[in-house]
Structure 1
Amino acid sequence: MGNNRGFTLIEMMVTIAVLAVVAAIAAPSFVQMIATQQLNQATRLMSVGLNEARGRASAMRATVVVCPNKKADGSEITAKSCVETAISGADGNKYISQNRVVIVSIPNKANVDSTSATKGAVITPTGTLDTSLNDITDSNRIKKFVFCSNGTSKIVSITILGTVSQSQGTC
Structure 2
Amino acid sequence: MQQIKINHGFTLIELMVTIAVMAIIATIAAPSFGDMIARQKLNTSTRDLMMAINQAKSQAALMKTTVALCLSRTNSDDDFTKEECAAAVIPEYTATNPGPPVVPVLTELKKEEVVKTRVISVKINSDVVISSTSASTLLFTDVGSANSSETFSFCKSGLQKSVSVTRLGIMSQTSGTC
Q: Specify if TM > 0.5.
A: yes
Corresponding residue of 1:90: 93
Corresponding residue of 1:109: 127
SS state at 1:16 partner:
helix
Of the structure 1 ranges 83-92 and 4-13, higher mean CA displacement relative to structure 2 is found in 83-92
1: CA distance between counterparts of 2:83 and 2:63? 19
Cα RMSD for the two superposed structures: 1.9
Contact persistence 1:114–1:147 (CA under 8 A): no
2: CA distance between counterparts of 1:81 and 1:36? 30
1:64 to 64, 67, 81: 67
Aligned pairs, number: 159
SS state at 2:150 partner:
strand
User: Which structure has the larger Rg?
Assistant: 2
Q: Which runs of 5+ in 1 are unaligned?
A: 132-141
Alignment of 1:13-32 (within 5 A): 13-32=16-35
Distance 1:130 1:75, change over 3 A: same
- Shift of residue 69 of structure 1? 1.1
Give CA-to-partner distance per residue, 1:99-135, whole Å, 9 cap, x none: 11111112233221135433x000000111113xxxx
SS state at 1:106 partner:
coil
1: CA distance between counterparts of 2:127 and 2:31? 15
1:122 to 139, 146, 161: 139
One-letter code aligned to 2:145: T
Distance 1:109 1:86, change over 3 A: same
Per the normalisation by structure 2, the TM-score is: 0.81
1:152 aligns with 2:159: yes
Give CA-to-partner distance per residue, 1:121-164, whole Å, 9 cap, x none: 00000111113xxxxxxxxxx20100111111011111011111
1:162 to 144, 150, 169: 169
Q: Percent identity?
A: 40
- Shift of residue 15 of structure 1? 0.5
Corresponding residue of 2:46: 43
SS state at 1:117 partner:
coil
Contact persistence 2:66–2:90 (CA under 8 A): no
One-letter code aligned to 1:166: Q
SS state at 2:169 partner:
coil
Contact persistence 1:35–1:149 (CA under 8 A): yes
